[in-house]
Amino acid sequence: MDDTLDAVIVGGGMVGAAVAAALGQAGMRVALVEGGAPPAAIPDDAPFDLRVSSLNLASRRLLEEVGAWSFIPESRRCPFRHIEASDATEKRHIRFSAVDLELPDFGFFVENRVIRRALWQRLAELPGVTTLCHAGPVAWVPGGHRSLLELDDGRMLATRLVVGADGAGSHTRELAGIATRDEDYGQRALITNVRTRLPQQDVSWQRFAPQGPQAMLPLPGHYASLIWYDTAEATLAREALDDEALRLAIEHAFPARLGGIEAVLGRASFPIRRRHAERYVRPRLALVGDAAHVIHPLAGQGLNLGMQDAEALSRRVITAFRSQQDPGGRAPLTGYARERRPQTLAMIAAMETFHHVFTGAAPLRHAGAAGMAVAERLEGAKRAVMRHALGL
């Protein structure tokens, strides 16, 4: 029997696991190579983790289609129905409501580890998917009908398609000789999980202060994830504060609408960088998710873009497979790159504009705030923005 796999996916994060689930569900023979351990079970009463993502409508649909959504417990997902953005004074603002698009909600905030665990639970149900943990690629040899991927444990995998889903520092991307364009925004984000006095409403909001945005992502009940962007120096100084001093600093700096904070439950900080692969495909190889692009997290779209990559790539690869064509051939891969690169470039451009307008010189910031106030009154423009953010 031919031992050539239909696909090898490197990286079992949320995006790689979504690709593996889609291909496995279509009856393809797939190996998922993950450098770390398989995701552990999360007890119902475990505290919320710091890494939280917004899943838009398109991402949620993908999770439903690959059979993973039902593994995300209701107690650990928080629907949101409004998105608001304001200037530093909060006088000028824009509000988007799901009801305006006749939708029940915009999406859900869910911990990354819960999404990942749900996808792996689904993978365990798919007989065509093999997971290989604590392993990574050391060499990739492209070929005419298949390529060879050598792993650090000595195994050699023959496959029609390699999918690089191994995150921002992708080794697969390096093995394929794909360069990136990088930019450091000179900002750092402090992420905290807090317990609030009031239950968090079904709204996610962002305030554009001159040093950088401040954002509130609601979590179920009296919990929220706060993101506070600033210079690296200021962020690292805040991160070093004790819990009580940090609680007071947040109450002081964040808008009054947050209400009182009872406790700071966790904290971490990240440098804010952009990274974009110069190409998404090579013969028999495609990049998805953060391996292909890392964008400014201010609009919470990084994972959503990755999920759209997963959807676009698997749709094209499965179509080729079902029509007895080569799933790692030229047609599905170039089609994928042509579909996804312009979408990512558009999102990067939008994030650049937000970043430069709202952290730029005072006249630019005022122009940005005025623009927000005008856009609030333009129903057509608002709808277009909403549809884009939903991945529709």
Ligand X SMILES: Cc1cc2nc3c(=O)[nH]c(=O)nc-3n(C[C@H](O)[C@H](O)[C@H](O)COP(=O)(O)OP(=O)(O)OC[C@H]3O[C@@H](n4cnc5c(N)ncnc54)[C@H](O)[C@@H]3O)c2cc1C
Q: What is the DSSP letter of 154?
A: S
Under the criterion CB under 6 A, does residue 216 sit at the interface with ligand X? Answer: no
Contact with ligand X (CB under 6 A) among 5, 7, 8, 11: 11
Q: Which has the closest alpha carbon to 205: 95, 304, 305?
A: 95
**Three-state secondary-structure class, residue 212:** strand
The residue among 309 and 326 lying less far from ligand X, judged by its C-beta, is: 309
- Please give the size of the binding site for ligand X, defined by CB under 6 A: 31
Contact with ligand X (CB under 6 A) among 230, 290, 311, 326: 290
Residue 337 beta carbon to ligand X: minimum distance, rounded to whole angstroms: 16
Q: Tell me which residues in 88-117 interact with ligand X (CB under 6 A).
A: 112
The residue among 25 and 131 lying less far from ligand X, judged by its C-beta, is: 131
* b (16+ CB within 10 A) / e for 80-102: bbbbbbbbbeeebbbebbbeeee
Residue 338 beta carbon to ligand X: minimum distance, rounded to whole angstroms: 20
Under the criterion CB under 6 A, does residue 166 sit at the interface with ligand X? Answer: yes
Under the criterion CB under 6 A, does residue 164 sit at the interface with ligand X? Answer: no
Query: Helices marked H in 76-207 — which ranges?
Result: 112-123, 171-175
**Three-state secondary-structure class, residue 1:** coil
The residue among 93 and 274 lying less far from ligand X, judged by its C-beta, is: 274
The residue among 137 and 332 lying less far from ligand X, judged by its C-beta, is: 137
Contact with ligand X (CB under 6 A) among 32, 176, 287, 303: 303
Tell me which residue has tokens 């079904």. Answer: 202
Contact with ligand X (CB under 6 A) among 6, 7, 8, 13: 13
Under the criterion CB under 6 A, does residue 16 sit at the interface with ligand X? Answer: yes
Q: What is the DSSP letter of 42?
A: -
Q: Are strands 82-87 and 203-209 parallel, antiparallel or unpaired?
A: parallel
Backbone dihedral angles phi then psi of residue 23, each to the nearest 5 degrees: -70, -40
Taking the CA atoms of the chain, what radius of gyration do you get in angstroms? Answer: 21
CA 107/CA 304 separation, integer angstroms: 11
Q: What is the strand order of the sheet 77-80 is part of?
A: 52-56, 107-111, 77-80
Torsion of CA 149, 152, 153, 156, to 10 degrees: 10
Contact with ligand X (CB under 6 A) among 128, 213, 289, 335: 289
Classify 224 in phi/psi space as left (phi over 0), alpha (psi -120 to 50) or beta: beta
Residue 259 beta carbon to ligand X: minimum distance, rounded to whole angstroms: 22
- CB 229, CB 189: distance < 8 Å: yes
Residues making up the chain, counted from first to last: 392
Under the criterion CB under 6 A, does residue 308 sit at the interface with ligand X? Answer: no
Q: Near ligand X by CB under 6 A, which window of 27-35, 72-80, 86-94, 377-385?
A: 27-35
Q: Near ligand X by CB under 6 A, which window of 9-17, 74-82, 155-163, 240-248?
A: 9-17
Query: What secondary structure does DSSP assign to 198-211, as a single string?
Result: SPP-SEEEEEEETT
Contact with ligand X (CB under 6 A) among 19, 20, 22, 33: 33
The residue among 112 and 319 lying less far from ligand X, judged by its C-beta, is: 112
The residue among 209 and 303 lying less far from ligand X, judged by its C-beta, is: 303
Could you tell me which residues come within 8 angstroms of residue 340 by beta carbon, excluding any fewer than 6 positions away? Answer: 280, 292, 308, 309, 312, 313
Contact with ligand X (CB under 6 A) among 213, 306, 328, 332: 306
Q: Near ligand X by CB under 6 A, which window of 237-245, 258-266, 303-311, 365-373?
A: 303-311
Q: Tell me which residues in 168-207 interact with ligand X (CB under 6 A).
A: 171, 189, 191
Under the criterion CB under 6 A, does residue 12 sit at the interface with ligand X? Answer: yes
Under the criterion CB under 6 A, does residue 36 sit at the interface with ligand X? Answer: yes
Residues of the shown chain interacting with ligand X in the complex, contacts defined by CB under 6 A: 10-16, 33-36, 53-54, 112, 136, 165-167, 171, 189, 191, 270, 289-290, 297, 300-304, 306
